[in-house]
Amino acid sequence: MKIKKQVFDEMIQHCKSCFPYEACGIIGGKNDMATEIYKIKNTEASSVSYFMEPEEQLKAMKDMKSKGLDMIAIFHSHPFGSAYPSSKDIELSFYDVYHVIIALNPYGDNLIFEAKCFKIKDGKVYEEELIIEQ
């Protein structure tokens, strides 16, 4: 999928601001081009899992519909982890959308990030290209 740089930067910033907890949200767009980000509260406040706050999720869905956008991806972060779906991510992925995973790991005073994109189908993980466009 492709993602507008502004949307990508906002997603990374949000994930960093939620550290050490997992951040999550929805990405809207059209034809594999991500143009809109919805930051959703992680009700689990955990470093190893997330659950999107249902009302915020519904609000995002309604906003996308009103703008003629599709939900093309779900993103979440892995603090202290790797940019690869966990067994729980694989088990719980019921949407046919891209899954963007942002690994965040402390490096000195900074957080270094790695963002990767996947499709998950029938328990199998396929890495997809994540192209950042200006």
Classify the C-alpha dihedral 34-39-40-43 as positive or negative: positive
CB atoms within 10 A of CB 51: 16
Smallest gap, in angstroms, from Cβ of residue 37 to Zn ion? 18
Q: Which is nearer to Zn ion, 47 or 86 (CB)?
A: 86
Site residues for Zn ion per CB under 5 A: 86, 89
Q: Which is nearer to Zn ion, 35 or 49 (CB)?
A: 49
Q: Which is nearer to Zn ion, 86 or 105 (CB)?
A: 86
Q: Which is nearer to Zn ion, 35 or 86 (CB)?
A: 86
3-state secondary structure of 129: coil
Residues 6+ apart with CB under 8 A from 124: none
Smallest gap, in angstroms, from Cβ of residue 49 to Zn ion? 7
Residue of this chain nearest to Zn ion (CB atom): 89
Smallest gap, in angstroms, from Cβ of residue 89 to Zn ion? 4
Smallest gap, in angstroms, from Cβ of residue 77 to Zn ion? 8
Answer yes or no: are the C-beta atoms of 54 and 44 closer than 8 Å. Answer: no
Q: Which residue, among 117, 127, 122, 121, has the nearest Cα to 34 in the 3D structure?
A: 117
